[in-house]
Amino acid sequence: MTPHGQLPDPASDRDELKRLTVEVLGHEGSYGILVGLVMELVEILDRSAGFRADPGGEVVEGGIRSGGGLAISPAQAALCADEPTRTAVFLRGVHDAISKAIATPRETQQAVQVLYAGSGPYATLGIPLMTLFPPEQVRFTILDLHPVSIQSVKAIVGRLGLGKSVASCVVADACRYVIPEGEIPAVIVSETMDAALGNEPQVAIMRHLLSQAPGARLVPESVQVDAFLLDTSREPERIEPDREDSIPASSPDRLPLGRVFTLDAPTIGKWTTLTGDRLPAATIEMPAAPGPHYEPYLFTTIVTHGNHILRTHDCGLTSPRAFPGEGKWATGDRIQFHYRLGTDPGLGWSPAGAPAVS
């Protein structure tokens, strides 16, 4: 807002969005400053949007459970933008993937096409970058299951004069979307996930879209889920947005039990011939717990692209999750994991050699 309570003019907002995007991409200093930069960036998207969350409504109200998992409500999707480290590291990953796609020799002079599946009302991982890459170089197709979110994205793009950077804005289920001929993307972006790849359709979306564009760079480039036996009394609290320091003082004790599941292009390639509602995952053997507070947990690491990585406790998506099921595990137990597809996706388990439990 200006000192007179009016909206800044759209051209100033667009210039400011560009400045903030450059700052967020390059920021290496304090967490407090990153919080401020991301909040200002999101404010510009918010004041340009047609979207307003119902102030009396529950934030989760209005989520849609599609065939691949939960499409969280537009209000909840808007809130994702407020997680500074998540937003910054994803934006850096998308920027890196696009820059590498531009630098890769292509058969046509066409702009690099980016398919952004699951934009939410702000298209936070796309619109800021439109201020940096001209439309002759990069064009975005933007998809969401919620019509309200797509209307909002159109309003932002229109107000900020970024329409030439958008090939189309589509209300669609990304798990069923058929990429039109001639629009094969060089980069696919989707942040439709929760910790340990539970609940939301990230796996189904990436699998479906990559099968139609096998050469595309994925953002995130990989999501890894690892099992640890950890001392719950020594784990740090999740970082709160108003903290000045990015790493809370703590000395966690975690015993690695192994990688349980990976989502990346090579792994998706191995699923091509698989049918059915399950994907393979690893078997973990439970060691002796060194003390009374040790519990098995799943940790998520997200490589958004290149060396841009979200690690444990950086954001909600990488917070540790207790093992699925209510099991109390004994030393030497072997746990066979699988990934459950469908409306309620996530890692399931069974004792190795026994029938699977979801």
Contacts to ligand SAM by CB under 6 A: 66, 68, 71-72, 77, 80-81, 117-120, 124-125, 143-146, 149, 173-175, 191-192, 201, 205
Closer to ligand SAM at the Cβ: 90 or 261? 90
Closer to ligand SAM at the Cβ: 201 or 296? 201
Residue 174 CB, shortest distance to ligand SAM, in Å, is: 4
Closer to ligand SAM at the Cβ: 147 or 256? 147
Cβ-in-10-Å burial (0-12, 13-18, 19+) of 127 comes to buried
Closer to ligand SAM at the Cβ: 93 or 296? 93
Q: Which of these, 138, 136, 130, lies nearest to 157 by C-alpha position?
A: 130
Q: Collapse the DSSP code of 97 into the 3-class scheme (helix H, G, I; strand E, B; otherwise coil) and give the result.
A: helix
Residue 124 CB, shortest distance to ligand SAM, in Å, is: 4
Residue 226 CB, shortest distance to ligand SAM, in Å, is: 22
Closer to ligand SAM at the Cβ: 221 or 235? 221
The answer to whether the beta carbons of residues 256 and 228 sit under 8 Å apart is yes
- CA distance to 61, 150, 265, 321, per residue, from 325 (Å): 26, 37, 29, 11
- Only one residue has tokens 């540790």, namely 320
Closer to ligand SAM at the Cβ: 202 or 336? 202
Between CA 45 and CA 61 the distance in angstroms is 22
Between CA 61 and CA 75 the distance in angstroms is 8
Residue 330 CB, shortest distance to ligand SAM, in Å, is: 37
Sign of CA dihedral 25, 299, 192, 114: positive
Q: How many other CB atoms are found less than 10 A from the CB of residue 206?
A: 27
Between CA 321 and CA 301 the distance in angstroms is 12
Residue 192 CB, shortest distance to ligand SAM, in Å, is: 4
Closer to ligand SAM at the Cβ: 87 or 336? 87
The answer to whether the beta carbons of residues 123 and 190 sit under 8 Å apart is no
Residue 70 CB, shortest distance to ligand SAM, in Å, is: 7
Residue 310 CB, shortest distance to ligand SAM, in Å, is: 12
